[in-house]
Structure 1
């Protein structure tokens, strides 16, 4: 089958930010560019850590690649597991400026848009497969209020009337980064790459998600 006729999975990562020299979300997604899963070709794109510009780049990538599934990946330093995000909320509230110096506070991502969007991916089935493979993973109930949530909400808003499934995964620091953050947990990029392959395969194979307890008390 020619690459032009193959179905595409769009996988995005982010540029470095907050004085980091690398971002493992891009290191991992870039490593999967051009690979194939279940007859689908993975196309990786890097997004800027900028409010507004990140969504412009994402919409361009969706238009150019015409994917059947989109998975955006971002870094959440301090988390110990791959976090399968359940919900994106319609607010930007930046603790630090983005890479362009913007720092929106209590701002809507989409004016008069829904308060929240839920992922369209089978995150419980993905969680089970990651655990079976020995990869630390969790279902997360918050994607924060920085550029990652901005992209997650913007993705789901862009896909709301289209037959394209989408979602977001946060990953921990890489060991390279954690060395500069004493006590912070880390996950090797190679493990993240393996986890993303598993997550994508399950997402492509699963129509109805599994019913598993993966909530949070707080």
Structure 2
């Protein structure tokens, strides 16, 4: 079932700096293209989120003095051909490479004493269906990894679990490489269109739908 969600005052969408030797990051390019737009009466605010910098993101989450009622993080992922809607964030860091601050945490918690995991509060099945019906390649992902993306995703959901954030939604979306970075890929205008459509769906959907999108392994 779906319904009408409460109208947010601000939608904060964040991207990441280039990392791991890449010179560009499509998530930040998409955020720059989306920043300042008004869609469906909602003001969209874009923010850059350097790797493993949760405080910078959470500080901006009350842009304009009012909580954003739908928040999202997205970053590029090599080998993906689809916009990937992440289902779950886990409380572990296990990095294969150093982040941009030179850190390489291994087998450490994102938040000491925090829950083992958080599920996204975005209606990812409704978003998936909406994207597929629009001809945009999309999927539900069952793991956000154990590097920066999962770290920030978990930190976001831990923040939104605190008192005072009731009704605020958040999640993580992985986006493919740009064509100049390799294959598979997606053009930045396609990424922007997919993110805008997905977030618009989240804003108008109060209760997620039931749709198969699982993984065998």
The TM-score with structure 2 as length reference comes to 0.92
Q: Secondary structure at the match of 2:99?
A: coil
Gaps of 5+ in 1: 1-5, 179-183
1:192 Cα deviation from its structure 2 partner: 0.4
**Alignment gaps of 5+ in structure 2:** 1-7
Secondary structure of the equivalent of 1:192? helix
Q: CA deviation at 1:133?
A: 0.9
CA RMSD, aligned part only? 1.0
Q: Which residue of 1 aligns with 2:186?
A: 187
- Residue by residue, what CA displacement relative to the aligned partner does 1:112-141 show, whole Å, maximum 9, x if unpaired? 100000000000000001101111100000
Match in the other structure for 1:150 = 151
Report what 2:32 is aligned to. 30
Shift of the alpha carbon at 1:158? 0.1
Secondary structure class of the residue paired with 1:166:
coil
Regions of 4+ moved over 4 Å: none
Residue of structure 2 equivalent to 1:112: 113
Provide Cα deviations, 1:36-55, integer angstroms capped at 9, x if missing partner.
12211000000102x2xx10
Structure 1 residue aligned with 2:204: 205
Corresponding residue to 1:166 among 170, 176, 185:
170
- Equivalents in 2 of 1:74, 1:56: separation in Å? 18
SS for the counterpart of 1:165 is: coil
Q: Which residue of 1 aligns with 2:88?
A: 87
Find the residue that maps to 2:103 and give its secondary structure.
Answer: coil
SS state of the match for residue 125, structure 2?
A: helix
Aligned residues: 205
Say whether the 8 Å CA contact 1:38–1:204 is kept in structure 2.
no
The residue number in structure 2 matching 1:181 is none
Aligned residue number for residue 78 of structure 1: 79
Q: Among residues 169, 174, 179, which one is paired with 1:175 in the alignment?
A: 179
